[in-house]
Structure formats: structure tokens, C-alpha cells
Amino acid sequence: MSRFLLNLPKTFKTNLSLIKKYSTLNSGAIEHLGSIVGSNNYSITEAVRTHHAKDESLHEEAHPDVVLFPQNTEQISKILQFCNKNKIPAIPYGAGSGFEGGINAVKGGVSIDTSKYMNNILQVNVEDFDCWVDAGVTRKQLNNYLKDTGLWFPIDPGADACIGGMCSTSASGTNAVRFGTMRENVLNLECVLADGTVIGTAGLKARSRKNVAGYNLTNLMVGSEGTLGVITKVSLKLFPQPETIMGAVAPFPDVATAVQSTVEIMQTGLQIARIEFLDEKSIQANNIYNKMNLDETPTLFLEFHGSKGTVDQQAEVAMEICKSNSCKEFQWATDPEERNRLWHARHNSWFAFKSIHPNRKAISTDVCVPISKLPEVLVQTKKDIEEFNLKTMIVGHVGDGNFHTFISLDTTNKEEMKNYYAYSEKLVRHAINVEGTCTGEHGIGLGKMKYMEEQFGKPSVDAMRIIKKALDPNNILNPGKIF
């Protein structure tokens, strides 16, 4: 309970009727927080709070008491100082495109939305292949801005997520197999800690490619899902736009042959830029949603980057491997339009899936395993989907051993929900048992908390709890997540 509430000023006139009963915040606290960001930059309306109450996941809405739209780091520092003093939960909010309930305000409190004002591209160092951006910048915004520089930022989780949110979950996506995840591509972060302290995780200004001074606070913040600090500015690695890009589509008779081809392609060590698996149902959904005409069978989408010579060579090797695994017809997609249609389709898989299952809830699973275990796990997954009689499709960043099942649910159907939970649990346990992880890119949020000790054992999770308690003793930063 907020100490602030215990010393309530007597003269407040604010209309409290808009604040739901379960609100733990009084008008005085809200007025003070509002005064930090300015009267037009906070909201307690039902609509705005509902918009900030949940992400794309199944987890039920949990409303913040107030949504703040700060304009700068200094305001966020003042907000956290106040929240820390008064034990008010504070949840950073970017695009709300998460899959594990990471932004749901399960203990109420303050949602800090950086997307409205803190969305500027601050510095692009073309010669050094790096940049500084506000946390609220989205990846598409950044890449549009970079178009004419000859550079791009490859990390691509599908949704047009905010860079700050992508740091919080250590996002990755279709290009990770070549360019790595956020972990490998963040050079420095400006963050605000629970007590309002502003830090530079790699140094005040450092952006050198290598930096081993002190503890790696950058990669402690990356993936901490807003529980250790509020990320305000990000320094990112950038990459030269590829000289040549070649795409290909490889349809297979079954899951096993498609995945076996992936394993063999990765084992050649050739630097493929993207290698994505879509099962027959994904292709079906994409054909309908994107008006395409692909063979409705397990399929790999591949992409190669580099000089013309390199690309041709790599594509040749990949084609040979696919054909030796009974690929039906290895189709090139060289012209940009054709290629863009393919990747547009891949990125729209989520929306395609939703559209063919209207009036139902769609969710996505996320496990990652050593690539040699992928055939076993994916084949078993297909069996389980049958057994549990679920409406699904499977897409996967299979080059990393990471895949997702999209599942369409009637959340009012007890039987169906029971099957979904049983399926999901079986999938995660299988991944952990084959030396994989319960999450390859979505994070823990609310959804995977129960698997933390299974994957890590209690001592490791306790070590994380010790760090959380040390940096956020009042547990105000996104409380109720990860542990």
C-alpha cells in the first residue's frame, strides 16, 4: 500500500469516478504524476487504460490506474522517484505487441508509454554502422529513416515493435539466424532505475563495437522485461543494405524432410540470411489472406544476402540439399516484387491466421531447441496437435531451432482450453528436456513464469531474484512478471 495514501492531502477536487474501484491510486497521486508530464499527457479514461491493459496474449486485461506519456528521460526519472517513494507499480509500454502478458498491469499502477513523444531517431553514425534512438522508435520507422543511408537494422520480430520493447524482450525474428538477436546488437542503453537514477549501461557515451569495462549491464537490461529499469534511449548496431538479395520457396512432402533440409543447410555453415518454416496450414492461410497460389504443403522460405556471386553459390548449395530431401520444386524469387510478396506473406502469417478463424482468440507458443532436436520436436508437435484436436498453424525461425504454434481458441470452450493448456505444457517440457528453452524470443512475462524453475532450477532463479531485489527493493518495476 502506498505510503502516499497514508498522508492524503485534504484538498483534492479531481473527479475519481473514472478510476475503477480496484485502483490503488488516489487522485492526489494521479494529479502529481500528471503534473510531471503535463495535463494533456496523462489519461485515466477507461479506453486508454484498457488499451494499456494487455498485449497480444491470452492473459486477461489488467488495467493500469493511469497512463502517462512522458516527453523525456527527466520526466521518467521524476515519475519513478515518485513511484518508488510511494510504492506505486510502474510498467514501461511501447507498442503492446508482446505475446506473454509482459505489459499487463497485474498490480495496477502507472503505465509509462514512450511511443507518443519519445520516438526520435537521435543520431545515425553511418561510418560506424551504429545509431542512437529513443525507446519509442519502431523498427519500421528506423528502417524507413535509414533507407537512403545504405544501412538497415535487421532485427525483425514481425510486428512493428518499439526498439525499447524489443530490448525488453530481447526480440529477434526472421533475420536472427544471420544477424543475431537484440542481445548481439545493442551497444549501449540509457535507462532509468527504480529510484529514478539515470544510467548508461555501457558508459555515458560509449558506442565502440567492443567494450569489456565492468559488468555487462547492457545485456542485463536486454531481456529483463521492464523489471530492472525503464529503457529510454538505445544505441544499436546497423548493417549495410545487402548488395544482392535472392529469395526462394521450397515445398516439401512433409515436416520431417523440410526440417531435415534446414538442419543440413545450417550444418554447411553457409551464411543464410533467413530460413523460415511454414506448415501446410500456414501456406493455406497465406494463400487465402494474401491471394497467393503456393503449394499447400510444409515449406521453407529462404533468403540469401551478399554479392551476386556469393548469393548464387549459397542458393545453389541450399537447392541441392533441399532436392536431396525430396523438395518438390525449388522456386527462385529473384525480382524484388515477387520476393517482397513472399516475406510480406510470412510477416502477415499472424493476421492471416486470425482472419481464417474469425471471432476466436489467437495465441502463439514459442520454444527453441538445439537444431539437431528440431525434427524430433516438430514431428511430435504435429502429432500432439492432432491428439489435442487444436486449430493451429506452425511457423518457425528454424535456422535457430525456434518455432511457434499459432493456436485459435474459443476461450469459452472449457474442453478446448484444457487441451490447449495440456498441449502447451507438453511442448515446453519437451523443449526443456532436449536442452532447449521455454522461450526463444517472446520472453517470460506472465505466461512462462511457471517454467522458470524447471528450466533453471531454483538456485539460478533465486540469483535473478537477488538481483531484482537489489536493484528494485520496493518491487515497483513491472511487478508480478518473470518470477
Q: Which amino acid is at 110?
A: V
**Of the two residues 241 and 326, which places its CB atom closer to its own copies in the complex?**
241
| Footprint on residues 297-326 left by its own copies (CB under 8 A) | 306-307, 309-310, 313
Q: CA distances (Å), 230 to each of 102, 227, 240, 287, in order?
A: 13, 8, 30, 41
* Torsion angle (degrees, nearest 10) of CA 275, 449, 182, 138: 90
Applying CB under 8 A, which part among 30-38, 245-253, 267-275, 295-303 lies near its own copies? 267-275
C-alpha cell recorded at residue 250: 521450397
- Is the Cβ of residue 377 or residue 385 nearer to its own copies in the bound state? 377
Least distance between its own copies and beta carbon 183 (Å): 7
Question: Nearest approach, Cβ of 238 to its own copies (angstroms)?
Answer: 10
Q: Does 16 bind its own copies (CB under 8 A)?
A: no
Local structure of 409: helix, strand or coil:
strand
If binding is defined by CB under 8 A, does position 442 make contact with its own copies? yes
| Long-range residue pairs from 201-206, CB within 8 A, at least 24 positions apart, any chain | 202/235
Of positions 75, 224, 257, 478, contacts its own copies by CB under 8 A: 224
* Closest to its own copies by CB, 6 or 204: 204
Nearest to 20 by CA among 60, 55, 54, 47: 47
The residue among 8 and 463 lying less far from its own copies, judged by its C-beta, is: 463
172 belongs to the binding site for its own copies (CB under 8 A) = yes
Task: Supply 32's cell numbers.
Answer: 502529481
Stretch that binds its own copies, among 34-42, 49-57, 85-93, 396-404 (CB under 8 A): 396-404
Q: How far is the CB of 442 from its own copies (least distance, A)?
A: 7
Single out the segment in contact with its own copies by CB under 8 A; choices: 13-21, 122-130, 319-327, 417-425.
122-130
- The SS3 call for residue 262 is helix
232, 192 in Cβ contact below 8 A?
A: yes
Q: Which helix (H) or strand (E) holds 46?
A: helix 46-51
Q: Of the candidates 46, 61, 338, 435, which one interacts with its own copies according to CB under 8 A?
A: 435
Q: Apex CA 93: angle with CA 92 and CA 99, to 5°?
A: 110
Q: Which of residues 36-95 bind its own copies (CB under 8 A)?
A: none
By CB under 8 A, tell whether 422 contacts its own copies.
no
Decide whether 13 or 205 has the Cβ nearer to its own copies: 205
Cell numbers describing residue 452? 522458470
Interface residue with its own copies, options 45, 120, 267, 340 (CB under 8 A): 267
Least distance to its own copies, CB of residue 479, Å = 16
Give the footprint of its own copies on residues 125-154 (CB under 8 A): 125, 127-130
DSSP letter string, 420-454: HHHHHHHHHHHHHHTT-BS-SSS--TTTTGGGHHH
412: how many CB neighbours lie within 10 A of its CB?
A: 8
Q: Toward its own copies, which CB reaches closer, 190 or 416?
A: 190
Distance, in Å, from the CA atom of 105 to the CA atom of 25, rounded to the nearest integer, reads 13
Of positions 8, 16, 288, 466, contacts its own copies by CB under 8 A: 466
Tell me: does residue 457 bind its own copies (CB under 8 A): yes
Shortest distance, position 321 Cβ to its own copies, whole Å: 14
Scanning residues 232 to 261, which ones bind its own copies (CB under 8 A)?
Answer: 239-240
SS3 at position 87: coil
Q: Which is nearer to its own copies, 413 or 460 (CB)?
A: 460
**Calpha distance 361→320 (Å, rounded):** 40
* Helix locations, 52-171, DSSP H: 73-85, 139-146, 163-169
- Encoded one letter per residue, x for contact with its own copies by CB under 8 A and - for no contact, window 184-223 reads x--------x---xxxxxxxxxxxxxxxxxxxxx-xx-xx
271: contact with its own copies by CB under 8 A: yes
269 binds its own copies (CB under 8 A): yes
455 binds its own copies, rule: CB under 8 A: yes
Q: Residue 92: name the closest of 114, 107, 108 by CA.
A: 114
Span interacting with its own copies, options 166-174, 246-254, 330-338, 355-363, rule CB under 8 A? 166-174
Question: Of 137-145, 247-255, 333-341, 456-464, which segment contacts its own copies by CB under 8 A?
Answer: 456-464
Q: Which residue has the cell 518438390?
A: 328
Which of 56, 156, 384, 400: binder of its own copies (CB under 8 A)? 400
Give the up-direction half-sphere exposure of residue 362: CA atoms within 13 A in the CB hemisphere.
17
Choosing from 23, 73, 290, 437, the residue that interacts with its own copies (CB under 8 A) is 437
- Determine contact, residues 297/283, Cβ cutoff 8 Å: yes
Does the footprint of its own copies cover residue 380 (CB under 8 A)?
Answer: no
For residue 77, give the nearest of 194, 195, 227, 196 by alpha carbon.
Answer: 196
371 contacts its own copies (rule: CB under 8 A): yes
Scanning the structure block, which residue is given the C-alpha cell 524507413?
144
Stretch that binds its own copies, among 23-31, 40-48, 175-183, 329-337 (CB under 8 A): 175-183
| The one-letter amino acid at 126 | V
Residue 383 CB, nearest approach to its own copies (Å) = 22
**First-to-last CA distance in the chain?**
21
Phi, psi of 330 (to 5 degrees): -80, 105
Q: Within 13 Å, how many C-alpha atoms sit on residue 365's CB side?
A: 29
Shortest separation between residue 96's beta carbon and its own copies, angstroms: 18
